Amino acid sequence: MNLYDRLTLDIEQRIRDGVLRVGERLPSVRQACRSQHLSPSTVLKAYYQLESRGLIEARPKSGYFVRPRLRQPLPEPQLTHPVGHATELNVSDFIFEILESVKDPAIIPFGSSFASPHLYPLAKLGRYLAAAARHMDPLSTLTDLPPGNEELLRQITLRYLTSGVPVQPGEIVITSGAMEALNLCLQAVTRPGDLVAVESPTFYAGLQAIERLGLRVIEIPTHPREGVSLAALTDALRHHPVKACLLMLNFQNPLGALAPDDTRRALVELLRRHEVPLIEDDTYAELYFGKQAPLAAKSLDTSGLVLHVSSFSKSLAPGYRVGWVAAGRFAQKIQRLKISTSLATTIPVQIALADFLRHGAFDTHLRRLRSTLEVQETKMAAAIERHFPAGTRLARPRGGYFVWVELPPQADSLALHRMAQEHGISIAPGPIFSAKREYRNCIRLNFGHPWSDEYENAMATLGGMITGLA
């Protein structure tokens, strides 16, 4: 993150926390330069940003002051209440329409599931892939069959160990992205007709995989900030033959929720008692804001029941299609399923990623990516507060690149989707995240793209449409 974005964030945080109150004067540019060891232009850029977001105002010859807020920060949505129980799925064409729209760079990608590819070190990765491609030992086409390239497995294991997850040798299987890993996990722990518990709302691809495998789903109430409701999950385990849980504890898609540490502990213990496997989709874990990486439930697992799924697609290498699962007691089964599903994951790409992890400064890249996303989140949130009508609720995520917005009850996100599309703006309407097509007045917005005036205008356009619908 550059210096002025960091200063902008700091001041914004102090305003939100009430340290700086409405009407109070900010330090003068000169004071700020001295106390923060910054250049005047850095301070001015930060003040200009804060002004453009409506947080402060310049008063001639007096300095910069905290502006009266037009309204309080938006309230959060509440714990969800999905209706009904076990559901057979029927995924609509609609999801594929939205996926299709992300291919067109002219469409504003608020509905996209991907962050901007420009946020990733694709040029540098390309150099590693170039080297791997040229120097690849032909025998690696055989030796790197599942579980995968040995050095890549070792590098992933090292990262687990560094972050306190005690994975066992032989537990990890490389897959063609997290999506394939999720599919293999579901197959490994269920049989057709089985019941799988998921958060509500949840990522549509998980629902699609569940549908495709002939499974049924039970949707668990979930809090937009704190994630899955353990009380509700406990109840579901007691009354229904739940055979597996598919959950995202870190920056859940679409809510952005982050489960508290206590919840994780209790969850792992609960599932151990019931002998129910947890498929932990942890694809966004590396994208945390702030200093502290979140815990994986996997780190608390002593029974081998947690299958921890992740990938490089969101953190490092979109388009390379390399993911993995640390599959606990299901590792051998997963390895065999992988072989009979797609045999292997592209070998030169596995080698390139192994080399990158060893030499490529992955953590430096990640720090930059996290800061960038954090700044973009504040811009997206500010735009929502500025442009969306009263009655809007917003859960501000602490990582990832999705924000979940609850619109006023009358606002129909499917109608909004159609109207927005005509203006070249995509959004992800709530119903695609639910087996029963709930969350009709909710949308998921993507802030994984560098903010621009065009985006600001698009948010104003959306706000106008929502006001009309509400």
Q: What residues make contact with a copy of itself under the rule CB under 8 A?
A: 91, 96, 99, 102-103, 105, 114, 116-118, 120, 122-123, 125-131, 133-136, 138-145, 175-177, 179-180, 183, 187, 192, 205, 208-209, 212, 214, 318-322, 336-337, 339-349, 352
Check if the beta carbon of residue 89 is closer than 8 Å to that of residue 207: yes
Q: Are strands 306-311 and 278-281 parallel, antiparallel or unpaired?
A: parallel
Least Å distance, CB 432 to a copy of itself, is 13
Provide the minimum distance between the beta carbon of 285 and a copy of itself in the complex, in angstroms, as a whole number: 19
Rounded to the nearest whole angstrom, what is the least distance from the CB of residue 49 to a copy of itself in the complex?
26
The label of the residue with tokens 């009979």 reads: 340
- Closest approach, Cβ 373 to a copy of itself, in A, equals 17
Nearer to a copy of itself, 71 or 103 (CB): 103
- Pick 62 or 340: Cβ nearer a copy of itself: 340
- Minimal CA–CA distance to 448: which of 395, 389, 394, 397? 397
* Closest distance of CB 128 from a copy of itself, Å: 8
Q: Which residues, 6+ apart, have CB-to-CB distance to 469 below 8 Å?
A: 407, 410, 411, 412, 415, 416
What is the SS3 string spanning 131-145? HHHHHCCCCHHHHCC
Q: Cβ of residue 118: shortest distance to a copy of itself, in angstroms?
A: 5
Could you tell me the smallest distance in angstroms from the CB atom of residue 369 to a copy of itself? 14
DSSP characters over 26-95: PPPHHHHHHHHT--HHHHHHHHHHHHHTTSEEEETTTEEEEPPPSSPPPPPP------SS-B-----HHH
* Pick 127 or 240: Cβ nearer a copy of itself: 127
Closer to a copy of itself by CB, 336 or 358: give it: 336
User: Closer CB to a copy of itself, residue 1 or residue 145?
Assistant: 145
Q: Residue holding tokens 């064409």?
A: 93
Helix axes 122-135, 347-359, angle to 10 degrees: 120
* Closer residue to a copy of itself, CB minimum distance, 8 or 345: 345
- CA dist 213 → 40, 186, 314, 356, 428 (Å): 60, 8, 25, 35, 24
Smaller CB separation from a copy of itself, 12 or 282? 282
In terms of DSSP bridges, do strands 393-395 and 323-326 run parallel, antiparallel, or are they unpaired?
unpaired
